[in-house]
Every structure is written in C-alpha cells, then in structure tokens.
Amino acid sequence: MTAGGGEAADAAALMALKLAITDDPLLSLRNWNYTSNHFCNFTGVKCSSSSREWRVTGIDLYNMSLKGSIPFQIGNLSFLQSLDLSYNGFTGDIPGALGRLRRLRELDFSVNNLTGTIPHHLGDLKNLRSLYSYENAHTGSIPGVLGNCSMLRVIDLSENKLTGTIPPEIGRLTRLRFLNLLQNRHLRQRTIKEVLVQWKDTTPVDVTWEPATILQQFPHLKP
C-alpha cells in the first residue's frame, strides 16, 4: 500500500514512539514494523479511513510494562482521539506538542514515572473529555488554561508533587463531573472554596480533596 501524506506522517509518529521505548519485555510491539505491516495492524493502534487514507485515531498501550519516553512526534497524529499509555514505566515530560491534537478526547498517562509540569499547551485541546495523569511525579502548578477545555468531564492528577493553588479557571468547567487532586501535599487549599462556588448552580461535581470536610460547605456537591 502506498501511503499518502497523512498516512506517512502517522507512520513516522508511530515509529518515533517505538524508538522512544527502551524496554518492551512482553514484546507487545513486536509487530510495529511498517515495512512489513500497515500501522493499522499494529498492536494497540486504532484507525479510521479519511479521504481514502487510513489515519490513526487511537493508541492503547495500557499495562504493557513498557519503559521509555513520550516523543514530541505524537503531536503529529492529527486524527488522534484517544491516547492511553497508563500503567507502564514511561519517564520524562509530557510533550507540549500534544496541544496540537485538536481531535483528542481521552488522555491517560496514569501510573508511570513522568516528571515535569502539566504542559499549558493542553489548554488548546477543546474536545478533551478526560485527563488522567495520577501516580506520577509531576511538579509545578496546575495550568489555569485547562479551564479552556470546556468539554472536560474528568480531571485526575492525584498522587503527584503539584504545588501552588487550584486555578479559579477550573471553575469554568461546567461539564466537569470528577476532580481528584488527592496526595499533592503542597497544593494550597485556600482557593478550593473559590473554585467550587463557581459550580454552585451546575450539575453536582464529585470532588476528591483533602480534607473531605470542605464538601460540607457545598451541599450541591456529592460527598
């Protein structure tokens, strides 16, 4: 099969991801060889047809014991809707290039060894529904630009090393139904009241926070 421009870009991005993986003990990616196998047949890759080309719409590498880093070329998968790299051993930063994935709906980096900040470029993901990156070692503050992701329903950044305050822009997320920030010891909780009060007239939000007694002041929230 001769690849068009879009397919070639997707193939290159997937090959960059494979090269960035330094350990694949279960041989989960043994069929990731574009010279002999179209990338739509790669383990964990989902595709759909667009303008007579096959484009990558999903990557699911959940719990494959992979180690390595996340390459910036992932940001070239312009049709990607879901990315799940959770329960592996990825290290390094989340690349800001992911902010180019305007079709992305689901993002899950949970239970890895990722460091660095939550990139502010994620605020460009207008179709993002869920953001999971719990049990990592993220530092820095929660970017206020996440408040631009108006479709967000779930944010789980628990068990990291986040600092600062909860940005009031989070309160603009009227579709948000679950927020978990547990075990970020240096997050200052004085602004949680200011954030929660912005949801006063919306559908209840399940907020997991320490201490839980803060919810008693907001009866519209589920305990």
Bridge pairing between strands 178-180 and 206-208: parallel
pLDDT at residue number 170: 87
pLDDT at residue number 214: 37
Q: What is the pLDDT of residues 12-25, one digit of tens each?
A: 999 999 999 999 99
- Domain ranges for the chain, please list them: 5-217
pLDDT band at 182 (very low <50, low <70, confident <90, very high): confident
CB neighbours of 213 closer than 8 A, spacing ≥ 6?
A: none
Check residues 216 and 170 and name the one with the higher pLDDT.
170
Bridge pairing between strands 67-69 and 21-23: antiparallel
pTM of the model: 0.87
Average pLDDT score over residue span 123-142: 97
Which DSSP category does 15 fall into?
H
Query: What is the third-level CATH fold of 5-217?
Result: 3.80.10
Check residues 203 and 107 and name the one with the higher pLDDT.
107
End-to-end Cα spacing for the chain: 55
pLDDT of residue 83 exceeding 70, the answer is yes
CB 159 within 8 A of CB 137: no
